[in-house]
Chain A
Amino acid sequence: MNILVCVKQVPDTEEIKIDPITGSLIREGVAAILNPLDACALEAAVRLKEAYGGKVTVLSMGPPQAKEALKQCVAVGADEAVLITDRAFKDADTLATSYALSMTAKQLGEFDVIVCGKHTLDGETGQVGPQIAEHMDWSQVTHVMDMKVEEGKLVAVREMEDGREVVEATLPCVASVTKASYTPRYPTIKSKLAAGKKEILTLSADEIKNLDKERIGMSGSRTKVAKSFSAPTGQAGMVIQEETGEATGRKLARILHEAKLV
């Protein structure tokens, strides 16, 4: 199996801070990490490789520092790593991002599966995976927890709000992975050292064939982030559970009454 995993380097914080004046993300002093769900996506891909043989390539669009995230991927099972980096990719929205990634995928080879994370820690749109499937004109499976290949089809377990669903998809396809039923492996001392020495293929916009420059970066973006701000954190909820339904109701009424809400 020839597998491509798309990974993004994101700031290491669950609560990204936003500059109240400029409205942009404060990235200084925040360590950059591999997007956590992309680590799950990679683990799922490496498990496919281990089960069926083949190769795993990781691809990222980002600044040169994103090489660190790619090396981290090489240490836990990726065979090749590619970074597309260019000022021309800057300020891309999800559409421009997914276009650039899919054009690169077409150039890199014939993949059976492209695996993405379900969403990122920073942008958190969850759109890039499905959009890549559209650009490639492939089938896609979202919210994947686990997957295998049977009779030339991808069989994926999807996580649903109220249970699980098993779906089949024809190959090639795009799978976007949610928190899997297994945790990503640690690198070994040897794989970590080998990854440090690994050559990472770096491509500029000019080096990607047939790339329409109007469709990447700022100019290719249909979405503009007009304003970002830190939302006031909501108050934690309260659970009222008494011995009986009646007592619970009474307590609720009393609390509402005391708060002068009723």
Chain B
Amino acid sequence: MAIILTEEQKELKALIKEFMENEVIPYAQEYDERGEFPEEILKKAHEMGLGCMNIEEEFGGSGLDNETMAVLIEEMAYGEAGVSTSLTVSGLAYECVRDFGSQEQKKLIAEAIVAGKYVSFALTEADAGSNAGAARCSYALDGDEYVINGSKAFITNASYADYHLVFATKDPALGVRGLSAFIVANDTPGVSRGKKENKMGLRLSNTSDLHFDNVRVSKDMLVGKEGLGFKMAMTSLDVGRILIGAAATGIAQRALDESVKYAKQRSPFGQPIATHQAVQFIIADMAIEIEAARLLTKNAAILKDKGMRISKEAAIAKSFSSDVAMKATTDAVQILGGYGYSKEYPVEKLMRDAKVYQIFEGTNQIQRIVISGAVLKE
């Protein structure tokens, strides 16, 4: 598609493409089947600065803006969605610490990520997903320390993270107003990693439970102010959702490219299926929707870079792009027919990977609550 990219964005996009094509795509299926976290691949990616894209150069990060990151994450997820997830979630935790934390906290988390370490963003619980206010994982002040007790569920990179940004409640009765955020080093006594999810898709990413049993953290590990946890999480997720939109666009674009390639060569009735209008129109719809997804994402990213409030725009970009990805990947399987359903071709994996984009960082139903809320208030 014709879209204006800066010279820098073009060059970095080409770099990501080269990396994904040489180092990731050839091995993706094996890792997917084993449900294995590709540590070696991710190590190389970290060395290239792909894990610290949003961290300022003063801390050793790549110092990219959201608009550029969206371009690069699209290219990453085009190659492999799990890898792009593993490389961006630490940045989500940093987003929160940067906006609300102390200088020491920023430095601690930024430098850990730049060094190739993972930081998890631990908000969801087994019984508190869409409703973060239902969190049971609790904290209490005891002398100079906070004591955290409880569990988190479905946490990306949890099994590999050196730090967790944990959202805990002072009192469940306070709902979202009870939440506060803490930086918890994984090696703090009482922290344990629980069961690893055996997932339908995004199998190159790690998702796991976390348990906190009388975990003591010093007072200066409270991020921002007590009771602001929910607001902080939502502000960070606004950015997270732009990047989710970018990744989903990448998955959809890959589905389109695989469909086009196949449709031009498969000729069950003597001529390529790409010559049938019924197939052409599926492809046209994919192209229309992908272009729209990319532009919505780019728009939200530019607004964020200009310092504007973007809750609505990010929610629109996230929900639209992930719905597009789900539809495009499902249609790609259809265009490839039986081969689309087989692991011999990459589109069945795209379809499995796409699904989670409608679920995480706020389900698309929750996005619609955010969007309608904003629209009705306007």
Contacts and interface: CB of A to CB of B under 8 A. Distances in A.
Interface of A: 185-190, 192-193, 196
B11 A188 contact: no
12 contacts: A185-B47, A186-B18, A186-B48, A187-B15, A188-B49, A189-B53, A189-B62, A189-B64, A190-B57, A190-B63, A192-B11, A192-B15
The 8 closest A-B pairs by CB, nearest first: A189-B49, A189-B62, A188-B49, A188-B48, A186-B48, A190-B49, A190-B62, A192-B15
A193 B68 CA distance: 12
Given A189-B12, A189-B15, A189-B50, 12 more contacts: A186-B18, A187-B15, A187-B48, A188-B47, A189-B64, A190-B57, A190-B63, A192-B12, A192-B15, A193-B11, A193-B12, A196-B7
Contacts of B49: 188-190
Contacts of B8: 193, 196
B11 A196 contact: yes
Where chain A touches its partner, the secondary structure class is helix
Nearest to A188: B49
Contacts of A190: 49, 57, 62-63
Contacts of B63: 190
B24 to A, nearest CB: 12
Interface string B10-39: 011001001100000000000000000000
B44 interface: yes
Nearest to A191: B49
A47 to B, nearest CB: 15
A248 B247 CA distance: 56
A65 to B, nearest CB: 15
A186 B49 CA distance: 10
Contact of A189 (B7, B18, B44, B48): B48
Nearest to B19: A186
Contacts of B47: 185-186, 188
B50 to A, nearest CB: 7
A186 B19 CA distance: 8
A38 B66 CA distance: 35
B144 to A, nearest CB: 39
A188 B55 CA distance: 14
Contacts of B11: 192-193, 196
Nearest to B47: A188
Contacts of B18: 186
A185 B18 CA distance: 12
Nearest to B64: A189
Contacts of B15: 186-187, 189, 192
A195 to B, nearest CB: 9
Residue of B11, B19, B47, B64 contacting most chain A CB atoms (<10 Å): B11
A187 B8 CA distance: 14
A192 B6 CA distance: 14
Contacts of A187: 15, 48
Contacts of B57: 190
A186 B12 CA distance: 12
A67 to B, nearest CB: 13
Contacts of B44: 186
A40 to B, nearest CB: 16
A76 to B, nearest CB: 11
Contacts of B53: 189
A187 B14 CA distance: 11
A12 to B, nearest CB: 12
Interface in B43-83: 44, 47-50, 53, 57, 62-64
A101 B7 CA distance: 31
Residue of B18, B49, B50, B63 contacting most chain A CB atoms (<10 Å): B49
A251 to B, nearest CB: 35
Nearest to B68: A189
B72 to A, nearest CB: 8
Contacts of B19: 186
B32 to A, nearest CB: 23
B41 to A, nearest CB: 12
A32 to B, nearest CB: 14
Interface string B276-304: 00000000000000000000000000000
A189 B13 CA distance: 10
Contacts of A186: 15, 18-19, 44, 47-48
